[in-house]
A and B are shown apart, each in its own frame.
Chain A
Amino acid sequence: MKLFANLIRDLDSTNKTTAKVAALVDYFNKAPDADKVWAIAILSHRRPPRPVNTTIVRSWAAESANIPLWLFEESYHIVGDLAETIALVVPSSQNSCDKSLSHFIKEIIELKSLDDKEKKTYLVKNWKALAYYESFVFNKLITGSLRIGISQKLMTRSLSISTGLEEDVLAYRLMGNWDPGTTTFHNLIIEQRKSDYVSKPYPFYLAYGLEGKIDELGNVTDWNIEHKWDGIRAQIIVRNQEVFIWSRGEELVTDKYPEFHGMPGNIPDGTVLDGEILAFPNGVIGSFNDLQTRIGRKNISKNLLKKSPVILKVYDLLEWEGIDIRNLSLLKRREQLELLLKNPNVGKLPLYLSENKLLNSWEEVAKERSKSREHRSEGLMLKRKDSPYRVGRKKGDWWKWKVDPLSIDAVLTYAMRGHGRRTNLFTDYTFALWDKDRSELVTFAKAYSGLTDAEFRKVDSWIKKNTLERFGPVRSVTPKLVFEIAFEGVALSKRHKSGIATRFPRILKWRQDKKIEEANSLEDLKMMIPFLDSV
């Protein structure tokens, strides 16, 4: 338990990825194989079931700490975490425990079938035998609340360093529903499989923001002009009758998007598509806000699939008939892609071509760009027709030409302390707009960037002098300051109090020239929503 508790402590005490990876590598180098499998499972949210009900655990903890239950509950209320409270109040051991993680897990799983008396004996014995932090981790396991997750990316990078295997191979091996109770480390990680190469993606080619003037790009007909879709950049691979979906963070997200699971059979093996996953409610492209309901979900219910379906806007073909065609020109690749998408078998799939806009002058291009919001796009992508598909971020062949952000004047209503070097200043702000009859301010967005350090200091000291109420770390302030808030997009949203969600809100300017009466209203914001009637 000592080794695993140390790992959790290290992961919990840093937000630097390098330190997290170092801690994981160290753990993978030292821990026994059976423990590694469980550690991977727990850190990727494959927790063992909770064996005891927490109400009764609280009473046992109070008894072991020799304090009345009400005092335990008050303490829990103040500490805010049950596992931590138990570890703090029940006297723990000075010595650490060498019993392995997998041994504990086995006991914890068996615990479920024991009666309360036996459960109590087991818990009390361990509270007293474990050192403080081990006891904390043990409590997290028995209350099923160990939520220190590690992204797939960090997990595979650490395993790669520790085992010498490639990251994308590891990502594939960690996918799906394996059971940590019956899988060995060798089976899961080490064993070579013919299928490993099958899932291998290509590195994404990434565009730069347009620099200089648009007409400096030369002849407009040399360029493929598409809208820049605001979704999740993804590569979909069909090989060996299987489909694999990789997101731009090179995370394997196949399980999250069952819409594409019908591709094998309808799309020939040896096909790799590059495109953008977009929300597609009611048969039209949705906002990023719509997509948000899908991104975090691991379990995709039928209902969610119906309410928030997704599509892929396809813009490139990287592999065809098993051959890497990235060195062909974009023109050639797109020809093949269009042919593929016209196939009637493919027509049933949620795959849509990202159209090349046939435009004759840069003026027409600029005009198209100004219509981006109506198309639910962020602007335009300009791709040189004779360019190969490059690796990573390279200048020259692909440019993104985003639309200017939208902006609105809003009133500062709440403030919270910042993070990192700004923890001392109130730099996380909540902004409000007037309601319909301009009688009340309604919260609409949070923003914490866009001011200079000097401005933040000034606003910070104003906040401290104009605090109305404190709610934990948050303060409400006298509505007085007006800021111009910029954002990339706007959509209706049931999850927001205002009924409207903005994308990437940030402070554009402190409008010291404006009074709160001059701030905008929610109605003004609603006017900025594209094709409101279709939602």
Chain B
Amino acid sequence: METPLLIFNENGIYCKEANVYLDPWHPVDRAIITHGHADHSRWGNKEYITHTTNVPIIKHRLGEIVVHGKEYNEKFVVNNVTFSLHPAGHIIGSSQVRVEHKGEVWVFTGDYKIENDGVATPYEPVKCHTFITECTFGIPPFKWVPQEQVFKNINQWWANNREEGKTSVLFGYSLGKAQRLLKYLDTSIGKIYTHGAIENMTEVLRPQVLFPPTTLITRDTKKKELIGNIVLAPPSAHGSTWIRKMVPFVTASASGWMAFRGARRRRAIDKGFVLSDHCDWEGLLKAIESTGAEKIIATHGYTEIFSRYLRDQGYDARTEQTQFEGEMNELNTEPEEKPAP
């Protein structure tokens, strides 16, 4: 039997024919990067290929790297293998990677969602034979409501807190989620303040997307001026000394995990908004159907359950171990932490 077009080895998802890796987790010569989240774009590769809008993001994160930007649908050939990037709708600059060789087409989704969030280029289904899909939220209890409703609730929450003389602290991942929140905050309610990590990332993205003005919280920011306003902060700021400046404050988290009552309680967050940059259960099924693929490979998330369900439905589905973390980071706030060997 021929080697498959893409295999999963110790370094990542590998195309042997082209000697190219997709989102490798260990340093390699040439890497195609789906998007700027830390678990998909790691440090140390000799050459990076990614969407043009993701270039400033990974440069900001990884410093001086050799990186080539590609447009969506732009074909590029490496050793007879044709690659192209397609919108994944996950965050700004996120792509699916299409890989074609001798008429066989594979697609790797990276992370994706099918809802158009108005910030990232909307997801486009790509026809393929084999579809490598994430399934971070690949069980039926995950069911998103349209984002208009969520943002209405978030702004309402902010307005109520303001009325009670409290500062609203809203937690979201500093790349992607924070900008999506920022885009839809109602500035007629009050001012938007940011944590340094979010301010810096937003600064990088301002040339590409129109965002409302933000004010960075510094040592000189007065407690008083924050009251009634909203603060955008990464989840890791929860429970830190930094947050004490916001007293009296109310906390909320915007994440897919907030669908579960237990998740909000465990994190001791006052309020949870269910808002994710990944597909929900229905979204995943719809996406798979529209690719026309017969072979499905499930990566990070509830892979075993999800692929078993797909097999029930007649797909040739299996799982592969990766080192992608999905949205897990939003729950588990310790950055890059490894247990002792």
Q: Which residue numbers of A lie inside 8 Å of B, CB to CB?
A: 12-14, 65, 67-68, 70-72, 74-75, 78-81, 84-85, 88-89, 418-425, 453, 464-468, 470, 473, 478
Contacts and interface: CB of A to CB of B under 8 A. Distances in A.
A418 B238 CA distance: 12
B140 A424 contact: no
Nearest to A424: B239
B340 A423 contact: no
B261 A81 contact: yes
A468 B340 CA distance: 7
Interface string B236-265: 101111011000000000000001111010
A418 B266 CA distance: 10
A79 B141 contact: yes
B239 A78 contact: no
15 contacts: A12-B261, A70-B308, A71-B139, A71-B305, A71-B309, A80-B260, A88-B143, A419-B268, A422-B239, A424-B236, A424-B238, A453-B241, A464-B337, A468-B340, A470-B339
A74 B259 CA distance: 16
Name, among A13, A72, A85, A453, the residue most crowded by chain B CB atoms within 10 Å (CB to CB). A13
B334 interface: yes
Given A421-B243, A423-B239, A81 B340 contact: no
B270 interface: yes
Nearest to B141: A88
Contacts of A71: 139-140, 305, 309
Given A421-B243, A467-B339, A78 B140 contact: no
Given A14-B270, A78-B302, A424-B333, A67 B140 contact: yes
Name, among B239, B240, B262, B312, the residue most crowded by chain A CB atoms within 10 Å (CB to CB). B239
B340 A467 contact: yes
Contacts of B264: 13
Given A88-B143, A420-B268, 19 more contacts: A67-B140, A70-B308, A71-B309, A74-B305, A78-B139, A78-B302, A80-B260, A81-B262, A85-B141, A88-B140, A88-B259, A89-B140, A419-B268, A453-B241, A464-B334, A467-B339, A467-B340, A470-B339, A478-B340
Name, among A70, A71, A81, the residue most crowded by chain B CB atoms within 10 Å (CB to CB). A71
Given A12-B261, A78-B302, A466 B340 contact: yes
B267 interface: yes
Instruction: Rank and list the top 6 A-B pairs by shortest CB-CB distance, nearest first.
Output: A424-B239, A88-B141, A467-B339, A423-B268, A89-B140, A423-B239
A469 to B, nearest CB: 8
A75 B139 contact: yes
Contacts of A453: 241
Nearest to A417: B266
Contacts of A478: 340
Contact of A79 (B260, B339, B340): B260
A14 B243 CA distance: 19
B129 interface: no
Contacts of A466: 340
Contacts of A419: 268
B141 A89 contact: yes
Interface in B189-222: none
A65 B261 CA distance: 20
B340 A465 contact: yes
A416 to B, nearest CB: 11
Contacts of A70: 308
Nearest to A478: B340
Interface string B43-80: 00000000000000000000000000000000000000
B271 interface: yes
Contacts of B244: 421
Nearest to B143: A88
Nearest to B140: A89
A424 B266 CA distance: 11
Contacts of B260: 79-80, 84
B165 to A, nearest CB: 14
A139 to B, nearest CB: 13
A22 B336 CA distance: 42
Nearest to A68: B312
Name, among B140, B236, B239, B241, the residue most crowded by chain A CB atoms within 10 Å (CB to CB). B140
B278 to A, nearest CB: 16
Interface in B86-134: none
B141 A421 contact: no
B197 to A, nearest CB: 15
B136 to A, nearest CB: 13
Interface in B226-241: 236, 238-241
A423 B238 contact: yes
A421 to B, nearest CB: 5
A308 B142 CA distance: 48
B271 A13 contact: yes
A48 to B, nearest CB: 23
B266 A75 contact: no
A76 to B, nearest CB: 9
A70 B140 CA distance: 12
B340 to A, nearest CB: 6
Contacts of B261: 12, 81, 84
A70 B139 CA distance: 12
Contacts of A470: 339
Contacts of A67: 140, 309
B139 A74 contact: yes
Given A84-B261, A88-B143, A423-B238, A473 B340 contact: no
A409 B77 CA distance: 67
Contacts of A13: 264, 270-271
A75 B141 CA distance: 7
Nearest to B312: A68
A470 B337 CA distance: 13
Given A68-B312, A74-B305, A423 B139 contact: no
B262 A80 contact: yes
A80 to B, nearest CB: 6
Contact of B239 (A65, A72, A88, A421): A421
A187 to B, nearest CB: 35
Contacts of B236: 424
A80 B263 CA distance: 11
Contacts of A473: 266
B223 to A, nearest CB: 16
Contact of A425 (B142, B239, B266): B239
Contacts of B337: 464
Nearest to B142: A88
A208 B236 CA distance: 41
A201 B271 CA distance: 39
Nearest to B260: A79
Interface in B304-341: 305, 308-309, 312, 333-334, 337, 339-340
Nearest to B305: A74
Contacts of B333: 424
Contacts of A425: 239
A104 B238 CA distance: 40
B319 to A, nearest CB: 14
